Structure 1
Amino acid sequence: MTQPEPNQPGVIRCDQFLAHPPAAVWRALTDPELHARWWATGDVRPEVGHRFTLDMGRWGQQPCQVLEVLPERLLRYSFAEGTLDNTITWRLVPEGTGTRLFLEQAGIDLDSPLGRSALEGMSRGWPGILRHLGTVLDSPTAA
């Protein structure tokens, strides 16, 4: 796994190899029940324009809107509209018999305390979340 890149202001990037085909990884990104098992509850759907919220626990309900969908290849949505106002992009690339999942969280405002806090926290948090996604996909109930 590549660690987040600290050298680009306001952007977090990391990736994780998952020993599952793109179709399985895509399902984990777009099926609300599976999504809730590895990250946050919310009515995520791969439909451009779809609005949903993600329950981020102590950080509250975060409004999102799907911006771009390329099935089994790319999912981009706005995240935390009205507070963080940034974008999360998931890119799936076949690799051998599995998938390399790339994450980019961009547009974090480093001039705001909330933005700086989000960058610091999520830079540390995303690698573990992506590993947890792999664990969920490895479980027999993910099929």
Structure 2
Amino acid sequence: MTTLTAIECDEFLPYSADVVWRAITTPETIAKWWANAADLRPEVGHRFTIDMGGWGVQQCEVLEVEEGRLLRYTFAEGVLDSTLTWRIEPEGTGSRLFLVHGDLDADSQLGRAALQGMGRGWPDVLARIADVIRPDRSV
């Protein structure tokens, strides 16, 4: 039996949900805080790649979109076969960005390595978004 598990983290960002949405869906902005390049379009069924540099080019497909609020896509098809779910909720003077990196196979060596490495890495990645969308920079 395969044991699927997830990494969950969140980050408060002092920006509106619209600003945060653009940061996680605009390829040029994604390149500033996470991946070298991504040809993402927030449209269900859109297939795209994310260039993770030394980690390779990852195949993805958009599974669910709620404009300005939720984006879910497959991640690393044929490698990790996982999903990324980004959810934005207004909070006080800004927004909270939630990330669930799900469907990780805890029974496989690669899945366990991803859980350990990405479990430590995702919070740092989310924290970089605030620097990219500072008011003195365009998103």
Shorter chain as normaliser: what TM range? Answer: over 0.9
**Counterparts of 2:47 and 2:105 in 1: how far apart (Å)?**
22
Counterpart among 11, 14, 25 of residue 30 in structure 1: 25
1:138 maps to 2:134: yes
TM-score when normalising by structure 1: 0.91
Q: CA deviation at 1:140?
A: 2.0
Q: CA deviation at 1:51?
A: 0.5
Unaligned runs of 5+ in 2: none
TM-score when normalising by structure 2: 0.94
SS state at 1:83 partner: coil
Aligned residues: 136
**Counterparts of 1:9 and 1:120 in 2: how far apart (Å)?**
14
1:42-69 deviation per Cα after TM superposition (whole angstroms, max 9, x unaligned): 1011100001111111110000000000
Q: CA deviation at 1:142?
A: 2.5
TM-align CA RMSD: 1.3
1:64-114 deviation per Cα after TM superposition (whole angstroms, max 9, x unaligned): 000000011100000000110011000000011210000000110111111
Residue 62 of structure 2: aligned partner: 66
SS state at 2:96 partner: strand
1:79 maps to 2:79: no
Unaligned runs of 5+ in 1: 1-7
**Counterparts of 1:45 and 1:118 in 2: how far apart (Å)?**
25
